[in-house]
Amino acid sequence: MLFRGIVVRVPFLWVEGMALCPFVLVKRKYPTPVLLHHEQIHLRQQLETGFLLFYVWYLAEYLWRLARLRNHHRAYRSISFEREAFQWQGHTRYLAQRPRWAFLKYL
């Protein structure tokens, strides 16, 4: 059985969705399945790395890429965690077959 997270609606959230293990925070009452799957991929990443390391790594990688790319959107989309999640967000069976530490190949 795959852990899917506990979905909590947070209408004042500044993004459409956010994974904060064990929760998936969503802005809208009815989030899309693609958004939920994207965030569930992040939950798996957080379980692998540990919650604290995930966010330290995420922030460090974002800042590094922002300094190099000088563009928020490009830096965000270049983060290894996001690259994996965006690539596989539409594939609902991905988490069942995903290798551990799969995000590393996106570095």
pLDDT on residue 66: 98
State the pTM of this model.
0.94
Res 100 pLDDT > 60:
yes
In a domain, residue 98? The reply is: yes
Average pLDDT over residues 15-41: 97
In a domain, residue 102? The reply is: yes
In a domain, residue 101? The reply is: yes
pLDDT band at 2; cut points 50, 70, 90: confident
In a domain, residue 17? The reply is: yes
For residue 82, what are the domain limits? Answer: 6-106
pLDDT on residue 3: 78
In a domain, residue 1? The reply is: no
Q: Long-range contacts: 102-107, Cβ < 8 Å, 24+? A: 103/45, 104/80, 106/80, 106/81, 107/80
Q: Long-range contacts: 82-85, Cβ < 8 Å, 24+? A: 84/41, 84/45, 85/38, 85/39, 85/41, 85/42, 85/45
pLDDT digits (tens, 9 = 90+) for 7-24: 999 999 999 999 999 999
pLDDT on residue 1: 56
In a domain, residue 99? The reply is: yes
Domain count, the chain: 1
Q: Provide the mean pLDDT of the chain.
A: 96
In a domain, residue 36? The reply is: yes
In a domain, residue 42? The reply is: yes
Q: In what order do the strands lie in the sheet with 23-26?
A: 6-9, 23-26, 17-20
